[in-house]
Chain A
């Protein structure tokens, strides 16, 4: 269970999150939707401790994330797929995937780590030949898949997806959505994805949360999304230029 209570975050005078509350039960796939700059990425970064919230508390399985004394153990529970992949240019694909496995307390031998990396690459539909290539040699879709393989390499309990289909063609986006759904279900992981791609929302989520003006305006099951009477959600789904969401 991931629980965010009254999270506030401002950058200078600009308030991004203004008392955000959200609960994601264990094993559930939550998608946070919202416009650009609405604070979706900031939310994920606050949970991971990449940036500190100004106010509010984040609980992971009932424990306050700020009280985590062993940062490595805390972060080992998470996997994250970054928007642009965030693969390390100087390392080969398998070294990227096995990055966590080659370091830390549960370090594996390079041979074992490579085997796991190849297995994870296979899981995301990439052949073992890709293992020795460098990220710059791969297409955007392949880089996303490598990023996904890296996110799941250490079998995390919680997986975050930051705009998983941005920059991909519709077919590749569909492939990534299917992979995400399959992997999350298969691993029984709790996941939070952030996106503005409604196809992605329908494909990967159990529940949806609509973030606007620093607060969750609506949350509910993905099946209830279209019939919900929340004006913010409806404007976002339909992409109507007029409504409570301003674009200025």
Chain B
């Protein structure tokens, strides 16, 4: 019994220590964001890698999700003669929930993994130590540009995802469910409020921060060897996905419960 309690206590302490380390790391990254030097070139590169190259994966995910959502809402709505709500529910569902969450998760899979693998490889091959000996702070040079780029580009990716998702719903609605094209668009716009869109974009920024912090943290604190790189990558994707879903719940309750 005592052994079981000791194990539980040890695990709890370990978890709390890990949370503390991640929070300190995130705090340190944020403080470095505000102090020069600023690495513009590295930031531009990160913008391109994280933002631009994630567009196809976010766009395709949103397109199919929007289409499937239209079909589901139509089928569900038919049970109580509410098929007409398809355009408004698709648009609200996309911008408030599915756009940010799916973009966050897809980018977490692509970007968080890639950041963790890249930084972990740099650590294993002593490139991070080399940066220090060359008078460059690895946190400032490697983490800050990536975190800043992900935090700024995720809302844009979410906006693009929202639009493509709504378009996917529109395509299905008009071509498969016999909706009138003009009517579908009118209903989409009429019931959509500005706060629906902005809340999703705020979520996107938070998710971008989370996924890039987790990628950088696990990459820069990876173990040695190929196994260390692999573990850092897995940990980055798993932790950022879970944190994105948890943050989504917290933000939704904060934004939409009175």
Mark A residues whose CB is within 8 Å of B: 45, 48-50, 71-72, 75-76, 78-80, 82-84, 86-89, 99-100, 103-104, 150
Closest 7 CB pairs of A and B: A86-B130, A86-B126, A72-B135, A75-B135, A80-B133, A82-B126, A100-B134
CB pair A45 B134 closer than 8 Å: no
| Partner of B133 from A78, A84, A87, A104 at Cβ < 8 Å | A78
Mark B residues whose CB is within 8 Å of A: 37, 122, 125-127, 129-130, 132-136
CB pair B125 A75 closer than 8 Å: no
CB pair A76 B135 closer than 8 Å: yes
CB pair A75 B132 closer than 8 Å: yes
CB pair A82 B132 closer than 8 Å: no
CB pair B135 A82 closer than 8 Å: no
Q: In the assembled complex, which residues on chain A have CB atoms less than 8 Å from the CB atom of B126?
A: 82-84, 86
A150-B132 Cα distance, complex, nearest whole Å:
13
Further 20 A-B residue pairs, CB within 8 A, beyond A78-B133, A103-B134, A103-B136: A45-B129, A48-B133, A50-B129, A50-B132, A71-B135, A75-B133, A79-B133, A80-B130, A80-B133, A86-B125, A86-B129, A87-B127, A88-B122, A88-B130, A99-B134, A99-B136, A100-B135, A103-B135, A104-B37, A104-B135
Nearest Cβ distance between residue A47 and chain B, in whole angstroms? 11
The residue on A at minimum CB distance from B136 is A103
The residue on A at minimum CB distance from B124 is A84
Q: In the assembled complex, which residues on chain B have CB atoms less than 8 Å from the CB atom of A83?
A: 126
CB pair B134 A82 closer than 8 Å: no
Nearest Cβ distance between residue A136 and chain B, in whole angstroms? 12
A47-B110 Cα distance, complex, nearest whole Å:
38
Contacts A/B (CB < 8 Å), 8 sampled: A45-B129, A50-B129, A50-B132, A75-B133, A75-B135, A78-B133, A84-B126, A86-B126
A83-B135 Cα distance, complex, nearest whole Å:
19
A87-B127 Cα distance, complex, nearest whole Å:
6
